[in-house]
Structure 1
């Protein structure tokens, strides 16, 4: 039996009086107890279809044709055409949240910051199943326990900003499932999560699906997730279904050129040295600007461009009460971090959210002051103690280290044109004037593959990938020696991600750029980095050349990260139970050689040869780590 059957669905939007079809005759089904994946890029119409199923289309949008039939297994023989229901009627309200649940992509923006988690789940429950509050609380705490909260009683009273990304997504899952829906719509439920947390959330969804017998419509662009979760796959592009069928035939015998290209656009661990990602569509051709680049011998002989030694940063959290009393706790965000970045190389920095990656980048940028440590910048002319710089010296140094941010939407001012955004660094640092600045800005646009005619547009008129290109152009404006890339592609589709990664590699080769590339996506880091440092609990637990880290990982945390990566390959299914039991960074699951002995010497980085180091007890048996 099909829980959901969509036939010839058409959805149109009216903007400025002009009508435009965004979903063009889509047909798909979701069988009872099965998972159907709806796969496509941003703008393909995936989320609009989910909004139509939930009766949540924006005012400018409307279903212009077709039907959305929902068959409730609790009411055999009856079906409801959701497309024909009044937008704010009683029937759609009973279905929404009651028989059809939904998990949204960004839990922080879909959870209220002024209500506790328990209050928000209680509201959803009492709306569809009125009952005494005491009984409701019991059901909610039981559901919070089922979705993985260790202390449901305490979690009930927490606010969303007090939870990590993974726990926020679990709270959303609890809210969606509290009324035991027949259909769960999961719209990019793990896009913003680390691989280990993603594995836990997906495992939880599978367990709850088996336990409750519900169907899942999984909306995603991650083909690794699809290969491990879906029974059937539907591929959508520009509002039209291009290919659909069982997951086996979709992955083993793809027919449509778009699907074949989509499968080749994702970075994977089997890529050969020098192999490029195949972007679905190349960006505007750019004229490469070839500059003198150091040879390998010169690079090895030169001192490291950046030397970080002994960085520590702690934060005190908690609440002070009257007379100075209260509960305060100290968290070590960065704990004795040291590494070098050689000129012209890309050092990857990977780890789960909260491990300290971004704090390290902020310290290097002088946005955060460390408790202790040194940072030495040496371009071969005059070594600089970065943390000792003040006033005009600091201002003069800033152009040499630039940053590409994770979210291009929030890092670009919506009130400034692209011309103003790219010219701003040149004005602040007094680089040339007037016509020369304009020429430089036009050159930057061409460098990142964008048409200079777009300079008078505002950021909202660009796609996510184009906005990230503008962010890259801004970082290049002052000709920096080092660029810190903080999750630069985590918010982008697979196809756009391929374009951006290829662009960064081309710019590095042409200009001799040096990158510190921060990411939680190991496949992306494998494609970009020469060496990789792995962070856990504020410390670098393993650092090695790329090929060694992926073929001979020694630290249990590194192994857990690698085990948690979902492959877009049916022959390498993810073992969810093995992926990250109890959390990869929980040192109680690590072998004794990798844990601090309270009475012993401090952990140290043991050399394993060829630049491979692992954090372990002094004198630990290397064979124990193999």
Structure 2
């Protein structure tokens, strides 16, 4: 029996009086107890279809044709055509959140910041299944325990901002499942999560599906997740179905060129040295970027590392203090004795779960955060600069040497400035050229990143996500930096756009001799970009090695847990969810004793394994024997 059957669905939007079709004759089905994956890029129409099923279309949107038949297992003989129901009628409200549950992509914006988690789940329960308060509390705590909260009674009274990303997504799952829906719609449920937390959330969804017998419509662009979760796959492009069928056929015998291109655009661990990602559509052809000066290229071959970081430490104190000095305060060691070198012209990858301290390290290097201890030395080719000791005019003169590409291209670009203003701003601040010189420089930067100079008078909102990230890259290049810190630069992008941006960064690095610190939790992306990789957990670098050595011979249990949690877009390499990250990869109690600090013994140290491979362990421990 099909829980959901969509037949020839057409969706249109009317903007400024102009009608436009965004979904054009889509048909798909979701059988009872099965998982169907709806795969496509941003703008393909997949999220709009989920909004139509839930009766949540924006005011400008409307169903212009077709049927959305929902067959409730409690009343299988009376299918409901959701497309024909009034938008805010009693029927659709009884289905939404009751018989059809939904998990959204961004749990932080989906949960109320002023209500506790328990209150929000209780609201959903009382709306669809009125229950006495003590009984409702017991049901909610049971559900919170089932979705992985260790202390459900405490979790009931927590606010969303007190939870990590993974726990927020679990709270959303509890809210969606409290009424035992027949259909769960999961719209990019793990896009914002680390691989280890993603593995736990996907495992939880599979277990709850088996236990409750519900059907799942999984909306995603991650083919690794699809290969591990889906029974059937539907591939959508610009509002039309390109290909659909069982997961075996889709991955082993893809027929449509679009699907084949999607499979080639994803970075994977089996890529050969020098192999490039194949973008679905290449961006505007770009000439090679302006090469560095002869003097800069001569400095690049010097032996001294460009950046040397030693003994970084940063602690944050949270909590409250009363007038009399009493209260509850908690100190978190965000960065603990971190040290590494970045050589000229290389890309050092920094990987780890959210909260491990990697972004704090980048902020310290940028002088946005002041550490409690440590040193940072920058080699400008003539002298070693003490970065943390710079002040006033010296610090201002140093700023252009280190630039940053941010994670979210939307919030990192001012919506009130044109592209011309955004790219001229760093040149104006640092007195680089005047008027026509700055304009010529801005136009050259647009060419460097493959954007048309005719776009210079546009505002950021008129660009796609990938184009906005190109503007962010152009801004980072404006001052000819020696080091660029890339903080999750492609995590908010689709697979196809991600391939374009990664190829662009590699090209710019080769042409300009750039040096990157590439921060990410996506190991496949880091494998594609980095020469060496540092793995960070609980504020410390637990392993650092050349890329091939780290992926072929991971020594630290945390590194292994990260690698085991990566879903491959390959049916022959299915993810073992139970082995992925039991209890959380960064929980040191799961690590072998050699990797845990003995309270009465010596401190952990970085043991050399040869060829630039180091692992954090007890002095004298025989790591090779344990591997």
Q: Output the TM-score relative to the length of structure 2.
A: 0.99
Would you say 1:440 and 2:431 are equivalent positions? no
Aligned-pair CA distance for 1:319:
1.8
For residue 291 of structure 1, report the CA deviation from its aligned partner. 1.9
Distance 1:34 1:495, change over 3 A: same
Q: Secondary structure at the match of 1:410?
A: coil
1:502 aligns to 2:503 (yes or no): yes
Q: Which residue of 2 aligns with 1:356?
A: 357
1:318 aligns with 2:324: no
Please state if 1:413 is matched with 2:414.
yes
| 1:425 alignment counterpart | 426
Separation (CA, whole Å) in 1 of partners of 2:223 and 2:256: 16
Q: Which residue of 1 aligns with 2:245?
A: 245
**Aligned CA distance change for structure 1 residues 622 and 294 (closer, same or farther; 3 Å):** farther
**Which residue matches 1:16?**
16
Matched, 1:195 2:195: yes
Report deviation, 1:113. Answer: 0.5
Other-structure match for 2:98 = 98
The answer to whether structure 1 residue 67 and structure 2 residue 67 are counterparts is: yes
Q: What corresponds to 1:7 in structure 2?
A: 7
User: Which whole-Å CA distance do the structure 1 matches of 2:483 and 2:76 have between them?
Assistant: 64
Structure 1 range deviating more: 291-300 or 379-388: 291-300
Distance 1:133 1:313 in 2: 45
- My pick for the range that moved more, 380-389 or 544-553, is 380-389
Query: Once the 2 structures are TM-superposed, how far is the Cα of residue 381 of structure 1 from its aligned partner?
Result: 1.4
* Contact 1:294-1:512 at 8 Å conserved across structures: no
For residues 254-297 of structure 1, what are the alpha-carbon distances to aligned partners after superposition, in whole Å with 9 as ceiling and x for unaligned?
A: 00000000000000000000000000000000010252589999
Aligned residue runs from structure 1 range 177-196, under 5 A: 177-196=177-196
Give the 3 Å change call, closer, same or farther, for CA 107–476 of structure 1 in structure 2.
same
Residue 477 of structure 2 corresponds to: 476
SS of aligned partner of 2:282: coil
> Is the partner of 1:172 in helix, strand or coil?
helix
Distance 1:319 1:144 in 2: 28
What is residue 375 of structure 2 aligned with on the other side?
Answer: 374
Higher mean displacement: 503-512 or 318-327: 318-327
Is 1:167 aligned to residue 171 of structure 2? no
Contact 1:555 1:625 in 2 (8 A): no
CA contact (8 A) 2:401 2:481 kept: yes
CA distance, structure 2, for counterparts of residue 163 and residue 377 of structure 1: 37
Structure 1 residue 168 displacement after superposition: 0.3
Gapped runs of 5+ residues in structure 2? none
The answer for the alignment partner of 2:347 in structure 1 is 346
Contact 1:40–1:236 under 8 Å retained in 2? yes
Please give the alpha-carbon distance, in whole angstroms, between the structure 2 residues aligned to 1:11 and 1:289.
43
Q: Distance in 2 between matches of 1:300 and 1:410?
A: 37
Q: Is the 8 A contact 1:417 1:456 kept in 2?
A: yes
- 1: CA distance between counterparts of 2:343 and 2:360? 21
Q: Deviations over 1:431-454 (max 9, x none)?
A: 111111111111111100000101
Task: Report what 1:570 is aligned to.
Answer: 571
> Equivalents in 2 of 1:568, 1:63: separation in Å?
34
Matched, 1:330 2:339: no
In structure 1, distance between residues paired with 2:282 and 2:114: 44
Contact 1:3-1:32 at 8 Å conserved across structures: yes
Q: 1:298 to 1:430 in 2, by over 3 A?
A: closer
State how 1:38-437 maps to structure 2 within 5 Å. Answer: 38-292=38-292, 301-437=302-438
Aligned equivalents of 1:123, 1:319: Cα separation in 2: 30
State the shift of 1:131 in Å.
Answer: 1.4
Q: CA deviation at 1:623?
A: 2.8
Q: Quick one: distance in 2 between partners of 1:274 and 1:463? A: 28
Structure-2 separation of matches of 1:103 and 1:291: 48
Tell me which residue corresponds to 1:543.
544
Contact 2:297 2:513 in 1 (8 A): no
Contact 2:427/2:478 (<8 A) preserved: yes
Q: Distance in 2 between matches of 1:178 and 1:294?
A: 65
Query: Is the contact made by 1:13 and 1:20 (CA closer than 8 Å) also made in structure 2?
Result: yes
Q: CA deviation at 1:379?
A: 2.4
**Structure 1: distance between partners of 2:129 and 2:320:** 37
String of CA shifts for 1:137-173, please: whole Å, max 9, x gaps: 1100000000000000000000000000000000000
Check 1:210–1:296 CA distance in 2 against 1; reply closer, same or farther (3 A cut): farther
Q: 1:65-86: per-residue Cα shift (whole Å, max 9, x none)?
A: 0000000001121100000000
Count of paired positions: 626
Instruction: Determine helix, strand or coil for the equivalent of 1:241.
Output: strand
Contact 1:355-1:537 at 8 Å conserved across structures = yes
Q: TM-score, normalised by structure 1?
A: 0.99
CA distance in structure 2 between the aligned counterparts of 1:289 and 1:466, rounded to whole angstroms: 17
Structure 1: tracts of 5 or more residues without a match? none
Q: Secondary structure at the match of 2:619?
A: coil
* Distance (Å, rounded) in 2 between the aligned partners of 1:125 and 1:352: 33
Residue 224 of structure 2 aligns to a residue in which SS? helix
Q: What is the aligned partner in structure 2 of residue 615 from structure 1?
A: 616
Alpha-carbon distance in 1 for matches of 2:600, 2:299: 45
Q: Distance in 1 between matches of 2:353 and 2:551?
A: 17
Distance in 1, Cα, partners of 2:417 & 2:482:
27
